[in-house]
Amino acid sequence: MRIYNVVGYTLLILHALVSAFLAPPHLGPGGGLVVGVLYLLFIWLVAGLYLPEILHMGIAHRALEFKGWFVKSTTLLCNAVAIYVNPRSWVNRHRHHHAFSDHDGDPNKLGADGFWKTLSLCLFPYKCQFDLARDSIFETWPMRLASSPGFAVAAQASSYAFVWALVSDWVYALALWFSVRLVGLWTNMMQNYWTHDRRFGARRYDDDDNAMNIGDWLPVTATFSACLQNNHHHYPQFLRLSHAADEYDFGFQVARLMKSLGLVRASNTGGRLPAGLDLKELGF
Ligand SMILES: [Zn+2]
């Protein structure tokens, strides 16, 4: 089994153990396990809609056009009760990441950075040189609020209070709050480290960066397909991260579901099928 899968499954098992065995008496191990799993699924779903779908393909690459109310409400929900990620800073960093992938100027990782350096960069990235996030949506009040330093601090307290309200035990709530963040850090490392190191995954395109495709079930499902980095870096404006009909693409399936619910549509650039792809049709 690949090391990134070993780490991912280990963290999931650890979360299950924490959920069951640190549970207070009124929940018991069985009730604790159910609460812990549901809490993790909730975080995965909300953060998956917010980061890889809305911030990434919606705002940063303008490949998907979401309803404004859906963008703003998901941003507030994810940041207040799930995991805080500053939307404006993230989009700015991500545009730097594409402009300077694995080279000077990439805030996520330089070519020579190893595992521990990249892990620390997930929390304290390199400084961005420019302001590449001047989109009008960041001038709306929900996005200004979510991008403010005060909200960043308050969100840590409100996300913890949310778990505490679920389980009524402050130590257990803290353990769950911390454990899901470890899983979140792993999904961040899937994108910033394992799919940006040529020793892992595969390449469809020989570009001047270290972006790789990792197509295993767990990383693709956990990151909503954001680990198909080699495909994505080659055609960053294209709304699909899978470039072949048989490539598993969970994020695309979710985007299709959201389209059927009227929440999103393809942008002109996002919906244009690049020439020379194995895909015969967009399928959106
Ligand atoms: Zn991208």
pLDDT digit string, tens, across residues 81-97: 999 999 999 999 999 99
Q: Could you tell me if residue 154 is inside a domain?
A: yes
* pLDDT one-digit tens code per residue, 273-284: 998 888 889 999
As a whole number, mean pLDDT of residues 211-229 equals 97
- CA angle 242/8/193 to nearest 5° reads 60
Q: How far, in Å, from the CA of 191 to the mean position of ligand 1?
A: 10
Checking phi first, is residue 151 left (phi over 0); if not, alpha (psi -120 to 50) or beta? alpha
Rounded to the nearest whole angstrom, what is the distance from the C-alpha of residue 100 to the centroid of ligand 1? 12
- How many angstroms is it from 137 CA to the middle of ligand 1? 18
Q: Is residue 17 in some structural domain?
A: yes
The pLDDT confidence band at residue 137, using thresholds 50, 70 and 90, is: very high
Coil vs helix vs strand at 116: helix
Handedness of CA 64, 67, 68, 73 (dihedral sign): negative
User: For residue 247, how far is its CA from the centre of ligand 1 (angstroms)?
Assistant: 18
Gap between the Cα atoms of 249 and 240, Å rounded: 8
Q: What is the pLDDT of residues 179-211, one digit of tens each?
A: 999 999 999 999 999 999 999 999 999 999 999
In a domain, 266, yes or no: no
- Spacing, Cα 165 to ligand 1 middle (Å): 35
Q: Which helix (H) or strand (E) holds 264?
A: strand 264-266
Give pTM, 2 decimals. 0.95
Average pLDDT over the chain reads 97
Domain range for residue 125?
3-190
CA of 34 to the centre of ligand 1 (A): 34
What domain count does the chain have?
A: 1
At how many degrees (to 10) do helices 28-48 and 170-192 cross?
A: 40
**Mean pLDDT, residues 259-270 taken together:** 97
Dist. CA 107 → ligand 1 center (Å) = 13
Question: What pLDDT shows up at residue 24?
Answer: 97
Distance 237 CA to ligand 1 centre (A): 8
Q: 152 C-alpha to center of ligand 1: Å?
A: 23
- Residue 284 placed within a domain: no
Alpha carbon separation from 83 to 47, 124, 182, 242 (Å, rounded): 7, 16, 11, 27
* The length of the chain, given as a count of residues: 284
Q: Which two tokens stand for residue 176?
A: 């769950």
Res 284: pLDDT:
93
Do the domain assignments include residue 237? Answer: no
208 is a domain residue: no
User: Would you say residue 10 has pLDDT above 90?
Assistant: yes
In a domain, 219, yes or no: no
pLDDT given for residue 278 in this prediction: 83
Whether residue 233 is contained in a domain is answered as: no
- Please give the backbone phi and psi of residue 172, each rounded to the nearest 5 degrees, phi first: -65, -40
Going by the DSSP 8-state scheme, the letter that residue 228 receives in this structure is B
Q: How big is the CA angle at 207 (ends 203 and 210), to the nearest 5 degrees? A: 65
Amino acid (1-letter code) at residue 120:
S
Q: Which residue has the tokens 């960041």?
A: 138
Region of poorest pLDDT, from 36-50, 56-70, 267-281: 267-281
Q: What is the pLDDT of residues 169-186, one digit of tens each?
A: 999 999 999 999 999 999
Separation of 10 CA from ligand 1 center, angstroms?
27
Residue 280 confidence (pLDDT) = 87
**What spacing in Å lies between the alpha carbon of 229 and ligand 1's midpoint?**
8
